[in-house]
Amino acid sequence: MPEMPEMATYQKWLTRTVVGQMITDVEVNREKSINVPVVEFKAAVQHQIVTEVSRRGKQLLFHLANGHMLLLHLMLGGWMYWGTEEDAPDRTKQVILSFSRHKLYFIGLRLGYIHLHDQQSAKPILAKLGPEASSINADEFKKIAKHKRTMVKPFLTNQAHLSGIGNCYADEICYHAKMIPLRTIDSLSSKELAALHQAIAPTLQAAADAGGYMSHPFTSSDRLTGGMNSKLYVYDREGEACFRCGNPIIRQEASKKNVFFCQVCQH
């Protein structure tokens, strides 16, 4: 599932490609991917200029000149591609936004969605999200963590606590904080809690700078997206050597999710 670094990478690409451009046509091939009737969706979106693409946690918001916005959550398996009909991936496209000759394809939205909102209807949805994980300060982090008894990984991935962290970067953050993700928040000392907080922003920023771990390029010339795949320290590296101590990375399951860590140098 795309997390903050992947969505930040998409935001960079979209700012270069669609901001300031008019949506000349709209095609909806899967009505469940939107939240209003197709006719209403098209009427609100077609012939509108995209004025900004912003990010909130794992979600992107396409701001339109008429005051509406498109709230995108790719969920599991969703991705985007910018190109023409000639170079478009041979995949089912749930929604297509045309910008004259170029098109923005939304692919893999089986669980994901692109919903139409105005400022008022979007507020309660965004209000459910916790502060941005990449910019939360130490005092606010301690306040949120206070009295929590959940394990570290579920705490980090709970979007009501912090927005933007998912399965991959929760494990990476714990690696850099030198703690096992299966520890409980209330078992952490003040020093350990501080180390956890201090690992969040650099881990997410480094991943965003590297292009995240998405495997699908955004355009035919995209050489950035997916650059983080070869730079992950523990996630999806079961049995491989820890870069810090050389011992094998192990995988365990907790709360029906895989957890990757080094049991020697993470404590």
Q: In the predicted model, is pLDDT for residue 251 greater than 90?
A: yes
Region 4-24: mean pLDDT is: 97
What is the chain's mean pLDDT, rounded?
97
**pLDDT tens, position by position, 168-177:** 999 999 999 9
Q: How confident is the model at residue 156 (pLDDT cuts 50, 70, 90)?
A: very high
What's the 3-state SS for the chain?
A: CCCHHHHHHHHHHHHHHCCCCECCEEEECCHHHCCCCHHHHHHHHCCCEEEEEEEECCEEEEEECCCCEEEEECCCCCEEEEECCCCCCCCCEEEEEEECCEEEEEECCCCCEEEEECHHHHHHHHHCCCCECCCCCHHHHHHHHCCCCCEHHHHHHCCCCCECCCHHHHHHHHHHHCCCCCCEHHHCCHHHHHHHHHHHHHHHHHHHHHCCCCCCCCCCCCCCCCCCHHHCCCCCCCCCECCCCCCECEEEEECCEEEEECCCCCC
Dist. CA 106–CA 95, nearest whole Å: 5
| pTM listed for this prediction | 0.95
**CATH number 2.40.240.10 given to 138-261:** no
Outline where the chain has alpha helix (H): 4-17, 38-45, 119-127, 138-145, 152-157, 167-177, 190-210
Q: Is the pLDDT of residue 159 over 90?
A: yes
Domain with CATH 3.20.190.10 in the chain: 4-128
Average pLDDT over residues 228-239: 97
- Mean pLDDT calculated for residue range 11-37: 98
Numbered ranges of CATH 1.10.8.50 in the chain: 138-261
End-to-end CA distance of the chain: 27
Q: pLDDT by residue (tens digit) across 184-213?
A: 999 999 999 999 999 999 999 999 999 999
The alpha carbon of 175 is separated from its chain's Cα centroid by a whole number of angstroms, namely: 20
Q: How far is CA 135 from the centre of its chain?
A: 15
At residue 1, the pLDDT reads 85
Residue 97 has a pLDDT of: 98
Residue pair 63/55 in contact by the 8 Å Cβ criterion: no
Helices then strands, each counted (H, E), the chain: 7, 10
Give the number of other Cβ atoms within 10 Å of residue 153's Cβ: 25
Residue 255 has pLDDT above 90, yes or no: no
In CATH terms, 4-128 corresponds, of 3.20.190.10, 3.40.50.10490, 3.40.50.300, 3.90.105.10, to: 3.20.190.10
For the chain, what percent of residues have pLDDT higher than 70? 100
Q: Give the CA dihedral 85, 90, 94, 95, nearest 10 degrees.
A: -20
Averaged over 102-126, what is the pLDDT?
96
